């Protein structure tokens, strides 16, 4: 169906029934689940992958960072294109790219090839995240969108925290092997492609496509520089060095240039008039912290359970079930309540409080903390993430017209991904530094401490061998476990500080009644 529209008119399309919406959601969420799964499924499998491909510690980091970086820089581009072109065509293109990237990653014969395939996966993930939200925003009025957004939030949260579990099971299954961490995503993505071809039919905006290429370049550089900086800072050069100054200065310069370009562009990738709106601006601030908690928790909790507590990859995944359960309940439950009563701010505030409390609890763990205590922190954090993630997008979508739904939704996803990517890199750097300090302290306290500590410090840039705790001498293995366990709490305290900023941001968001139409109308809408 092709319908001409202007910015002030809604497409003359019949409202979708609940069944039609669910048919679209099945395909959409299947694709989104596989995309989000691919971002965390390698976390437990990565030590095995890097060892098999004979990679370095720097390459270890880049396998994770490359896909997050590609997702971050591509999200606003996909979002803007969805306002100008067929959303169906774009989501099919993103799924196809994801299938190709996953297949190539599974066939990788060296780490650089794997990193390249992960970049392709990341580009597709950025598209799927932006387009899924844009399609829901274009098909469902905000007043009814809560429960459907809740399903999406639950899928994202469950995929994020279940990825390490599935990756661990695959690695621990001898007849599969780590390559199936990538192959396993392909069948479901193909199924989603078929479903969307059959059921996804949305009005098409007949608008001239004017892609803001210069803005895309500026935004990509401004987003990439801090990620590259935090990846290498403290490892290849100091945090306070001329190299760091160049990265920070370059980020500020290209950030300013991006604002100037977007302010003058006819079709900006990130509409500044939308971002300047109070609800969107505060939602972006809150999303940064949500990204840190969502991506950081999945990666570092798995590492904590494996290295500090001695569990297998499969067991480490199973132990994160409280966080998975909390994410599911928080997302679906708040979505259903928002649809029923029309109020949404209270769930953002409750989610922010639970997120802070959960991260504070996890910030006090060490290598001897009982599991019930860790599980309590994970459950609280999961509930908070579930209540906040998609409801922040809903709050923003409610303030814009359907003609800008893609760009506005992608803006929130962009900053959430940026927060996650930078957060993972920064928290990883803090963890590595703290572990190294604790190891040196522990070695110094033992026999031959000075010489052993000097040797450890000289080889501290390559921690791969220390991650393989089961093959270390017993005394050193125990010291490594203690160091990782005692260092993990610090990174969750940092995440808790970010979550506190998020809570403050949602406290100042103004609750606007959810409209009952897809398009934004001029007349005010009152709550029941």
pLDDT: is 501 or 4 the higher one?
501
* Beta partners for residue 237, in sequence order: 233
pLDDT above 90 covers what percent of the chain? 8
In this prediction, residue 283 carries a pLDDT of 84
Q: Is the confidence at residue 223, as pLDDT, over 50? A: yes
Q: Which residue has the higher pLDDT, 420 or 366?
A: 366
Is the C-alpha dihedral spanning 225, 228, 230, 236 positive or negative?
Answer: negative
Distance CA 518, CA 143 (A): 9
Q: In the 8-state DSSP scheme, what is residue 524?
A: -
Predicted confidence at residue 185, as pLDDT, reads 81
Residue 511 pLDDT: 79
Give yes or no for residue 358 having a pLDDT over 90: yes
Q: What is the pLDDT of residue 6?
A: 39
Instruction: Please indicate whether residue 11 or residue 45 has the higher confidence score (pLDDT).
Output: 45
259 contacts: CB under 8 Å, gap ≥ 6? 272
Q: Residue 186 pLDDT more than 80? A: yes
Model confidence pLDDT, tens digit, residues 494-514: 888 888 988 998 898 887 777
**Tens of pLDDT, residues 15-37:** 667 777 787 888 888 887 887 77
| Distance of alpha carbon 17 from alpha carbon 159, whole angstroms | 27
Query: What's residue 357's pLDDT?
Result: 94
Residue the block writes with tokens 């293995």: 477
pLDDT tens digits, one per residue of 70-109: 887 888 888 778 777 778 888 889 989 988 998 998 898 8
Of the candidates 235, 115, 105, the one whose C-alpha atom is nearest the C-alpha of residue 178 is 105
High-pLDDT (> 70) share of the chain, %:
79
pLDDT of residue 354: 94
Q: How confident is the model at residue 525 (pLDDT cuts 50, 70, 90)?
A: very low
Task: Give the pLDDT confidence score for residue 443 in this predicted structure.
Answer: 65
* Domain boundaries, given as residue ranges, for the chain: 18-202+267-507
Stretch among 66-75, 247-256, 485-494 having the lowest mean pLDDT:
66-75
Alpha helices in 200-318 (DSSP H): 213-232, 242-264, 272-275, 278-303, 313-318
348 class by beta-carbon count within 10 Å (0-12 exposed, 13-18 middle, 19+ buried): buried
Give residues with Cβ within 8 angstroms of 472, minimum separation 6: 465, 466, 480
Using CA atoms, how far apart are residues 390 and 518, in angstroms rounded to an integer? Answer: 17
pLDDT digits (tens, 9 = 90+) for 382-397: 899 888 877 887 777 7
- Span 46-62, pLDDT tens digits: 777 877 887 765 677 67
Determine the CATH number of domain 18-202+267-507.
Answer: 1.20.1250.20
Q: How far apart are CA 362 and CA 369, in angstroms?
A: 10
Q: Is the pLDDT of residue 169 over 90?
A: no
521 half-sphere exposure, CB direction, 13 A CA radius: 13
Q: Please give the pLDDT value at position 470.
A: 62
Closest CA to 378 of 352, 351, 359, 350: 359
Do the beta carbons of residue 318 and residue 362 sit within 8 Å? no
Residue 301's nearest CA partner among 315, 287, 285 is 315
Q: Residue 5: its pLDDT value, please?
A: 38
Of residues 297 and 430, which shows the higher confidence score? 430
What pLDDT does residue 472 have?
65
* Span 156-174, average pLDDT: 74
Query: Among 157, 168, 166, which residue's Cα sits nearest to residue 378?
Result: 157
- Supply the pLDDT for residue 349: 92
Mean pLDDT (whole number) for 430-450: 69
Q: Which of 61-65, 86-90, 139-143 has the lowest mean pLDDT?
A: 139-143
Nearest CA to 493 out of 292, 305, 325, 286 is that of: 292
* Predicted confidence (pLDDT) at residue 373 exceeds the cutoff of 90: yes
Tell me: pLDDT of 11 over 50.
no
- Which pair of structure tokens corresponds to residue 193? 């492609």
User: Is pLDDT at 350 greater than 90 in this prediction?
Assistant: yes
Q: What is the mean pLDDT of the chain?
A: 77
Q: What is residue 235's predicted lDDT score, i.e. its pLDDT?
A: 67
Closest to 204 measured CA to CA, from 16, 11, 410, 14: 11
| 390-415 average pLDDT score | 72
The token pair at 287 is 């999303």
Note whether 127 and 171 are within 8 A (CB). no
Would you say the C-alpha torsion 76, 81, 86, 92 has a positive or negative sign?
negative
Least confident piece of the model among 123-132, 157-166, 243-252, 254-263? 157-166
Does the pLDDT of residue 192 top 70, yes or no?
Answer: yes
Residues 428, 434: Cα–Cα separation, whole Å: 10
DSSP letter at 135?
H
Q: Which residues of 244-272 are buried (b: 16+ CB within 10 A; e: fewer)?
A: beebeebbeebbebbbebbeebebbbbbe
């Amino acid at each position: 169906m092709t319908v001409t529209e202007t910015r002030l008119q809604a497409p003359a399309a019949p409202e979708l029934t609940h069944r039609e919406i669910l048919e679209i959601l099945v395909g959409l969420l299947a694709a989104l689940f596989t995309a989000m799964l691919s971002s965390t499924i390698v976390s437990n499998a990565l030590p095995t992958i890097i060892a098999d491909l004979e990679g370095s510690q720097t390459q270890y980091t880049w396998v994770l960072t490359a896909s997050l970086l590609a997702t971050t820089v591509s999200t606003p581009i996909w979002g803007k294109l969805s306002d100008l072109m067929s959303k169906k065509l774009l989501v099919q293109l993103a799924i196809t790219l994801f299938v190709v990237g996953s297949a190539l990653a599974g066939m990788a014969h060296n780490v650089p090839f794997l990193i390249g395939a992960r970049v392709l996966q990341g580009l597709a993930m950025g598209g799927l995240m932006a387009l899924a939200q844009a399609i829901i925003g274009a098909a469902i009025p905000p007043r009814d969108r809560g429960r459907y957004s809740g399903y999406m939030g639950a899928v994202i949260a469950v995929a994020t925290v279940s990825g390490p579990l599935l990756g661990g099971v695959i690695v621990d299954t001898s007849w599969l092997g780590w390559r199936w961490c990538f192959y396993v995503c392909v069948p479901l993505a193909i199924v989603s492609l078929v479903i969307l071809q059959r059921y996804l039919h949305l009005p098409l905006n007949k608008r001239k496509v004017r892609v803001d290429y210069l803005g895309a370049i500026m935004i990509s550089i401004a987003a990439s520089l801090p990620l590259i900086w935090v990846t290498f800072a403290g490892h290849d050069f100091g945090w306070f060095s001329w190299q760091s100054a160049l990265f920070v200065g370059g980020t500020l310069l290209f950030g300013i240039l991006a604002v100037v370009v977007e302010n003058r562009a006819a079709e900006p990738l990130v509409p500044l008039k939308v971002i300047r709106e109070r609800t969107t601006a505060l939602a972006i601030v809150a999303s940064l912290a949500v990204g840190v908690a969502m991506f950081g928790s999945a990666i570092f909790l798995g590492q904590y359970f494996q290295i500090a507590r001695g569990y297998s990859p499969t067991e480490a995944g199973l132990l994160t079930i409280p966080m998975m359960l909390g994410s599911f309940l928080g997302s679906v439950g708040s979505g259903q309540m928002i649809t029923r009563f029309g109020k949404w701010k209270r769930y953002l505030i409750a989610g922010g409080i639970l997120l802070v409390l959960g991260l504070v609890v996890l910030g006090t763990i060490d290598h001897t903390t009982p599991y019930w205590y860790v599980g309590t922190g994970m459950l609280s954090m999961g509930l908070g993430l579930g209540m906040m993630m998609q409801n922040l997008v809903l709050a923003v979508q409610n303030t814009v017209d359907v003609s800008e739904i893609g760009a506005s939704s992608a803006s929130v996803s962009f900053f959430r991904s940026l927060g996650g990517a930078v957060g993972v890199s920064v928290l990883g750097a803090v963890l590595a530094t703290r572990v190294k300090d604790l190891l040196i302290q522990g070695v110094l306290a033992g026999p031959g401490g000075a010489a052993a500590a000097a040797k450890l410090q000289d080889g501290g840039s390559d921690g791969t061998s220390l991650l393989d705790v089961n093959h270390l001498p017993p005394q050193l293995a125990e010291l490594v476990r203690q160091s990782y366990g005692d260092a993990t709490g610090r990174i969750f305290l940092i995440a808790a500080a970010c979550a506190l900023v998020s809570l403050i941001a949602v406290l100042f968001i103004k609750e606007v009644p959810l409209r009952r139409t897809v398009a934004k109308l001029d007349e005010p809408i009152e709550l029941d």
